[in-house]
Chain A
Amino acid sequence: MSERFETHEHDVLVIGAGGAGLRAAIEALGQGASVGVVSKSLLGKAHTVMAEGGIAAAMANVDSADGWKPHFRDTMRGGKLLNNWRMAQLHAQEAPERVKELEQWGALFDRTEDGRILQRAFGGHTFRRLCHVGDRTGLEMIRTLQDRGVYMGFDVYMECTIVRLLTDGGRCAGALAYWRETGRFVVFKAKSVVMATGGIGKAWPITSNSWEYTGDGMALAYEAGAELMDMEFVQFHPTGMVWPPGVQGILVTEAVRGEGGILRNKSGERFMERYDPKRMELSTRDVVARSIYTEVKEGRGTEHGGAYLDISHQPAEYVKKKLPSMYHQFKELADVDITKGPMEVGPTCHYMMGGIRVEAETAQSSLPGLFAAGEAAAGLHGANRLGGNSLSDLLVFGRRAGLAAAQHAKEVSAPNLDEGQISAGESEALSAFQRQGGENPYAVHRDLQKVMQSLVGIFRTGEDMQKALSELAKLKERAAHTSVEGSRMFNPGWHMAIELKSMLTVSEAVTRSALVRQESRGAHSRIDFPELSPEWGKKNNIVWHDGSAMGLRQETRPEMRAELKEILAEDQ
């Protein structure tokens, strides 16, 4: 291999150091594989660290009637039956074991009276199911996994960004990356690659997601030949902060509602009574987000264009104990004491249900040797994710991906790297330095966000999305002509120029998929097609790289097993 590159070789390369990536790495290590973990940020800073409310697992510690069947049923119903039912089954069955394992690796959860893991209520979950640590569950989870992985001995490549997957005759062979610190390139050669890069929220301006969520993993997999699925399903969390402007979009955990928080409009009306009288505030996220949006749109919003969320009827000490970070977040950033008065909240782009299409058992994508887990993968959540089902997803399918990736690495020979692909990736990544006088990549990003917010948001129409597609084409053109200042050393403008491409790819996939799905289902709401369509309920949208264009087709979903149908039919 060329001297120009530092090269590292592993059996399994895990891209992403969130819950899914770390859990995959731990499993692969346990199988004796040599494992490298790459992340754009420092270790322990991935999105998983921000998760607040909890991990859904039917441990039945609080409600003894819970079990995998009700969890399966809730997940499928929450996902408007578009979920990969096999994934939903495995997830519900294995989550409790994964949580116990986490505890045995040192994670400390809040306790029940009799000394077991405490579980709280959450939207769409029939029983109290979310294992939690106050409102900092993700922090406990990521530290536990991080420490375990470090002691088991994975190699961590921090602040290192993958820009291209490398292939060898139709299989995944590794990846090309650059070090953020120096801007120098590095090549990873691997028999198996696990994509655990999380979501795409940065394509929208109002989002709970960090700079990392630019859809890299999905875009890279797509370009290397893997299929994406369900890209139209983007979750808008009902409760993000709306004021002051700088904090717009920052998440207000669903645990506030789980602990009894009440939503009201500006006239004090508890409006969820009109939208979902049975489940009220604990309805599914798609419903609550649309309800708040509608209240605001029809003139019943708060001063800053949101709804009131009030937990101040609970004892102040209780609120501080169960929701400490919310208490501080509002106190310090919005001058609101949530033990005394209501918060102002509104929808924020939060989670991607769609992503890389995988097989349920192995998490393998349609590109041999490439696996995917966590938010980057599609299937488990269908048209809408229930709160708490992501952290459990990371553990269940992270583990499965790591296991299958290690197995695969045992079965195949070392791949060959193609110098041509590496140089092409390198020139493409550096192209923004070659151009003079082009646009600032941040300006293109701002305009992309405007397009996605106004044309491909919570409520969609065919007309808007047609318009979005033509806007995206123009933005693509502009993105190809940005230029960057400064050197290759830790240069966020340059990083943005590269990430724009991923965001544009996933934005196009979202828009195309959403445009053809002529119905409303879960997080996908069409004003021009407000009803559920039984026909569309049988299909998933599949996106793939078809030469120079984006391919889109529908695939009929496999028939659900009879015993699962029965579970689903039971009423609760």
Chain B
Amino acid sequence: MAEATVKVFRGNKGGGQSVEFKVPVAPGMVVLDALHYIQGHLAPDLAVRWNCKAGKCGSCSAEVNGRPRLTCKTRMDALPQGEPITVMPLKAFPVIKDLVTDVSWNYKVNKKITPFTPKAGADWKFYQDDVDRVQEFRKCIECFLCQNVCHVLRDHDKYEQFGGPRLFVRVAGLEMHPMDGVSRTKVLKDGLGIGLCNITKCCTEVCPEDIHITDNAIIPLKERVVDQFYDPLVWIVRKIRGAAS
């Protein structure tokens, strides 16, 4: 049976190093299968997160050959053959152990966002078109790969001021919800620092759910912020028009 060399980060917040493992390769195998093989046969204490093994839960994120990926959806046969595969933890979050990082920050920031608040007197009749418009944002599986590549977090450490692409996607899913009745522009501007995003689109490139994070979530949200805080008249006119149409 063919064999692959997999170099996996072993260590904790105090540091660590890549450790090489030889793993037998089966057809269609994904990187997570290789990690499971290592756990089951070579290093039972290898720390890895996973749940669904089908790209639905967003647990198994790591950097494979330097690219942020879901390991359960990264096929071994799609990686350069005959070369070692490196698997590293997400860089933007502190390592707990091996491939497991501390992503609790995301849950904390999420609390800043005003929850879904239905319009007063809503009759709950709305149409597939209304739903389709927001579906994209609600597909997010919270894999945090986008957070991991965003330079505002990864390189500039703006964890206090910035929410990151995942949280913008979440706000978009609420703001464009057909029955939602509140505005989150203030929290976008102040709490989540959307102005710090300079539209590099790195987040969009890595999203395993193909959410057009920058074009469909961030840019329209930025426009809302600009309209409200820098041109209130335009904003009011749009709101009224929007409500009338």
Q: Any chain A CB within 8 A of the CB of B96? A: yes
How far is it, in angstroms, between the C-alpha of A244 and the C-alpha of B78 when the chains are bound?
15
Tell me the chain A residues, 347-389 only, with Cβ under 8 Å from chain B.
Answer: none
Tell me the chain B residues, 40-76 only, with Cβ under 8 Å from chain A.
Answer: 40-41, 43-59, 73, 75
Tell me the chain A residues, 226-281 only, with Cβ under 8 Å from chain B.
Answer: 243-247, 250-251
Q: Any chain B CB within 8 A of the CB of A461? A: no
- The one of A106, A110, A443, A489 that contacts B174, using a Cβ cutoff of 8 Å: A106
Provide the residues of chain B in CB contact with A148, threshold 8 Å.
115
B52-A50 in contact (CB<8A): yes
A150-B111 in contact (CB<8A): yes
B179 CB to closest chain A CB (Å) equals: 8
Residue of A nearest to B40 (CB): A442
A224 CB to closest chain B CB (Å) equals: 27
B51-A41 in contact (CB<8A): yes
Instruction: Determine, out of A186-194, A307-315, A327-335, the stretch whose residues face the partner at the interface.
Output: A327-335
- The one of A45, A446, A493 that contacts B59, using a Cβ cutoff of 8 Å: A45
A484 CB to closest chain B CB (Å) equals: 6
B28-A246 in contact (CB<8A): yes
Q: Any chain B CB within 8 A of the CB of A318? A: no
Q: Any chain B CB within 8 A of the CB of A60? A: no
Provide the residues of chain A in CB contact with B46, threshold 8 Å.
492
B64 CB to closest chain A CB (Å) equals: 14
> Given A115-B127, A492-B44, A492-B48, are A139 and B103 also a contact pair (CB < 8 Å)?
no
Q: Any chain A CB within 8 A of the CB of B175? A: no
A140-B138 in contact (CB<8A): yes
Provide the residues of chain A in CB contact with B179, threshold 8 Å.
106
How far is it, in angstroms, between the C-alpha of A402 and the C-alpha of B100 when the chains are bound?
32
B131-A329 in contact (CB<8A): no
Residue of B nearest to A108 (CB): B131
- The one of A250, A484, A490 that contacts B98, using a Cβ cutoff of 8 Å: A490
Provide the residues of chain B in CB contact with A247, threshold 8 Å.
28, 30, 53-54
Tell me the chain A residues, 41-58 only, with Cβ under 8 Å from chain B.
Answer: 41-47, 49-50
Interface contact tally, CB-CB below 8 A: 169
Q: Any chain B CB within 8 A of the CB of A494? A: yes
Choose among B51, B96, B125, B135 the residue with the greatest number of A CB atoms under 10 Å from its CB: B51
A329-B55 in contact (CB<8A): yes
Provide the residues of chain A in CB contact with B30, threshold 8 Å.
246-247, 333
Q: Any chain B CB within 8 A of the CB of A491? A: yes
A30 CB to closest chain B CB (Å) equals: 15
Provide the residues of chain B in CB contact with A212, threshold 8 Å.
51
B27-A150 in contact (CB<8A): no
A139-B141 in contact (CB<8A): yes
Provide the residues of chain B in CB contact with A50, threshold 8 Å.
51-52, 54, 56-57
Q: Any chain B CB within 8 A of the CB of A83? A: no
- The one of B49, B56, B107 that contacts A49, using a Cβ cutoff of 8 Å: B56
B39-A250 in contact (CB<8A): no
A114 CB to closest chain B CB (Å) equals: 7
Residue of B nearest to A117 (CB): B124
User: Please, what's the 1-or-0 string for A484-517, where 1 marks a CB less than 8 Å from any CB in chain B?
Assistant: 1111011111101000000000000000000000
B124-A104 in contact (CB<8A): yes
Tell me the chain A residues, 403-453 only, with Cβ under 8 Å from chain B.
Answer: 440-443, 446
Q: Any chain A CB within 8 A of the CB of B200? A: no
B111-A244 in contact (CB<8A): no
Residue of B nearest to A249 (CB): B53
Provide the residues of chain A in CB contact with B59, threshold 8 Å.
41-42, 45
How far is it, in angstroms, between the C-alpha of A56 and the C-alpha of B56 when the chains are bound?
21
B75-A332 in contact (CB<8A): yes
A329-B110 in contact (CB<8A): no
> Given A110-B131, A332-B75, A496-B44, are A245 and B28 also a contact pair (CB < 8 Å)?
yes
How far is it, in angstroms, between the C-alpha of A143 and the C-alpha of B141 when the chains are bound?
10
Tell me the chain A residues, 106-122 only, with Cβ under 8 Å from chain B.
Answer: 106, 108-111, 114-116, 118
Q: Any chain B CB within 8 A of the CB of A546? A: no
Q: Any chain B CB within 8 A of the CB of A168? A: no
B138-A147 in contact (CB<8A): no
Q: Any chain B CB within 8 A of the CB of A537? A: no
B135-A485 in contact (CB<8A): no
B169 CB to closest chain A CB (Å) equals: 12
Q: Any chain B CB within 8 A of the CB of A325? A: yes
How far is it, in angstroms, between the C-alpha of A43 and the C-alpha of B106 when the chains are bound?
11
- The one of B26, B47, B116 that contacts A246, using a Cβ cutoff of 8 Å: B26
Provide the residues of chain A in CB contact with B28, threshold 8 Å.
243-247, 333-335
> Given A45-B57, A246-B29, A250-B53, are A106 and B116 also a contact pair (CB < 8 Å)?
yes
Provide the residues of chain B in CB contact with A181, threshold 8 Å.
96-97, 100, 102
Provide the residues of chain A in CB contact with B33, threshold 8 Å.
246
Q: Any chain B CB within 8 A of the CB of A136? A: yes
B195 CB to closest chain A CB (Å) equals: 25
B141 CB to closest chain A CB (Å) equals: 7
Provide the residues of chain B in CB contact with A334, threshold 8 Å.
28
Choose among B53, B59, B75, B134 the residue with the greatest number of A CB atoms under 10 Å from its CB: B53
Q: Any chain B CB within 8 A of the CB of A133? A: yes
User: Please, what's the 1-or-0 string for B189-211, where 1 marks a CB less than 8 Å from any CB in chain A?
Assistant: 00000000000000000000000
Residue of B nearest to A443 (CB): B40
Provide the residues of chain A in CB contact with B100, threshold 8 Å.
181, 490
How far is it, in angstroms, between the C-alpha of A332 and the C-alpha of B44 when the chains are bound?
28
How far is it, in angstroms, between the C-alpha of A101 and the C-alpha of B95 when the chains are bound?
39
Provide the residues of chain B in CB contact with A333, threshold 8 Å.
28, 30, 54, 73, 75
Q: Any chain B CB within 8 A of the CB of A210? A: yes
How far is it, in angstroms, between the C-alpha of A247 and the C-alpha of B40 when the chains are bound?
17
Provide the residues of chain B in CB contact with A251, threshold 8 Å.
54
Provide the residues of chain A in CB contact with B41, threshold 8 Å.
440, 442
> Given A333-B30, A333-B54, are A108 and B103 also a contact pair (CB < 8 Å)?
no
Provide the residues of chain B in CB contact with A49, threshold 8 Å.
51-52, 56-57, 141
Tell me the chain B residues, 91-130 only, with Cβ under 8 Å from chain A.
Answer: 96-98, 100, 102-104, 107, 110-111, 115-116, 118, 124-128, 130
B128-A110 in contact (CB<8A): yes
Choose among B33, B43, B54 the residue with the greatest number of A CB atoms under 10 Å from its CB: B54
B51-A332 in contact (CB<8A): no
Can you report 29 A-B residue pairs in the complex whose CB atoms are below 8 A from each other? A41-B51, A44-B57, A49-B57, A50-B51, A104-B118, A106-B115, A106-B179, A110-B128, A133-B131, A139-B139, A147-B115, A210-B51, A244-B29, A246-B26, A246-B33, A247-B28, A250-B54, A251-B54, A333-B75, A334-B28, A335-B28, A440-B40, A440-B44, A484-B44, A485-B43, A485-B45, A490-B47, A494-B45, A496-B44
Q: Which 10 A-B pairs have the closest CB atoms?
A: A244-B28, A493-B44, A106-B116, A486-B45, A115-B125, A490-B47, A246-B33, A490-B97, A442-B40, A210-B51
Where the two chains meet, the residues of B that have a C-beta atom closer than 8 Å to any C-beta of A are 12, 26-30, 33, 39-41, 43-59, 73, 75, 96-98, 100, 102-104, 107, 110-111, 115-116, 118, 124-128, 130-131, 134-135, 138-139, 141-142, 174, 177-180
